[in-house]
């Protein structure tokens, strides 16, 4: 039995990950802003504590962790899932507030929570930090700009942690999905349902459950195995030629 903290647990990947661990008799701490969604998730997981908190609220985050009951306090696995993309416009047309928000959630909040949770893992010589990166952190595409750059940070942060944590037995893994069906596109397209649905239509995209399976597999491998990065795409998604703009 492990204690697993999942951020962004109210929907999509986070919810599926929380459920996967919960259904397998692990203790889940589900963290997200939307309390009603967390409460409905809690009903589906036998041992679940909910933390209704904005992952960007440093003080709130710290205090929330302190309120956890004793048997949930020692976190074995941190799943840094909360993250978002905002906009798909070329850089010169983007709203800088969107860029700042992505940096705040995908980079600052993720690093802060990791910084908060890591010392007790090192002390116990046991733990696993799992980050949700993206193929966008590795393969640039038009409109990916800051989103892709934040996910490149996530990947390199995870690998850097591996280097720092040598000899501590603490594992670090970056899961890097491609096109996956969730609220992700609705958020990216600022609530434009038609555009979000059109993206997934006919694409046979990855499902939150697929990502949850990958996270669970990585987390439950024998302790001597560390998956550094795990890149996954729907079979329908692949690479295209580099563009050449002609005069
Ligand atoms: C998002 C994956 O393929 O939409 O992290 O860029 S993709």
* Per-residue pLDDT tens over the stretch 158-169: 999 999 999 999
Mean pLDDT over the full length of the chain: 96
pLDDT at residue 44, as a whole number: 95
Specify the pTM.
0.96
Listed residue (92, 127, 100) closest to 226, CA to CA? 127
pLDDT at residue 41, as a whole number: 96
End-to-end Cα separation, the chain, in angstroms: 62
The token pair at 24 is 């397998």
Residue-wise pLDDT tens digits, 12-49: 999 999 999 999 999 999 999 999 999 999 999 999 99
If pLDDT is split at 50, 70 and 90, which confidence band does 124 have? very high
Residue-wise pLDDT tens digits, 58-103: 999 999 999 999 999 999 999 999 999 999 999 999 999 999 999 9
Calculate how far, in angstroms, residue 181's C-alpha sits from the geometric centre of ligand 1.
10
Closest ligand 1 atom, residue 144 Cα: 6
In contact, 5 and 31? CB cutoff 8 Å: yes
If pLDDT is split at 50, 70 and 90, which confidence band does 183 have? confident
Closest ligand 1 atom, residue 188 Cα: 4
Interval 124-146 mean pLDDT:
97
In contact, 212 and 13? CB cutoff 8 Å: yes
Interval 165-174 mean pLDDT:
98
CATH annotation of 3-232: 3.40.50.720
Calculate how far, in angstroms, residue 63's C-alpha sits from the geometric centre of ligand 1.
33
């Amino acid at each position: 039995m492990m204690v697993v903290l999942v951020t962004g647990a109210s929907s999509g990947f986070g919810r599926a990950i929380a459920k996967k661990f919960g259904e397998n008799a692990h203790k889940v701490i589900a963290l997200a802003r939307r309390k009603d969604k967390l409460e409905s998730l809690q009903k589906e997981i036998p041992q679940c504590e909910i933390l209704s908190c904005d992952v960007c609220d440093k003080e709130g985050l710290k205090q929330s962790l302190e309120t956890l009951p004793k048997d949930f306090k020692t976190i074995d696995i941190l799943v840094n899932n909360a993250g978002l993309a905002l906009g798909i416009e070329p850089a010169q047309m983007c709203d800088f507030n969107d860029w700042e928000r992505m940096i705040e959630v995908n980079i600052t909040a993720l690093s802060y929570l990791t910084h908060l949770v890591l010392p007790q893992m090192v002390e116990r010589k046991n733990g696993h930090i799992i980050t949700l990166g993206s193929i966008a952190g590795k393969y640039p595409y038009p409109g990916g700009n800051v989103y892709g750059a934040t996910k490149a940070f996530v990947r390199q942060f995870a690998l850097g942690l591996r280097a720092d944590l040598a000899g501590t037995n603490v594992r670090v893994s970056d899961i890097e999905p491609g096109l996956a069906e969730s609220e992700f596109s609705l958020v990216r397209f600022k609530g434009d349902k038609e555009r979000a649905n059109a993206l997934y239509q006919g694409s046979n995209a990855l499902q939150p459950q697929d990502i949850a399976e990958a996270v669970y597999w990585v987390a439950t491998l024998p302790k001597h195995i560390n998956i550094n990065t795990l890149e996954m795409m729907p079979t329908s998604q692949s690479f295209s030629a580099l563009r050449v703009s002609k005069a």
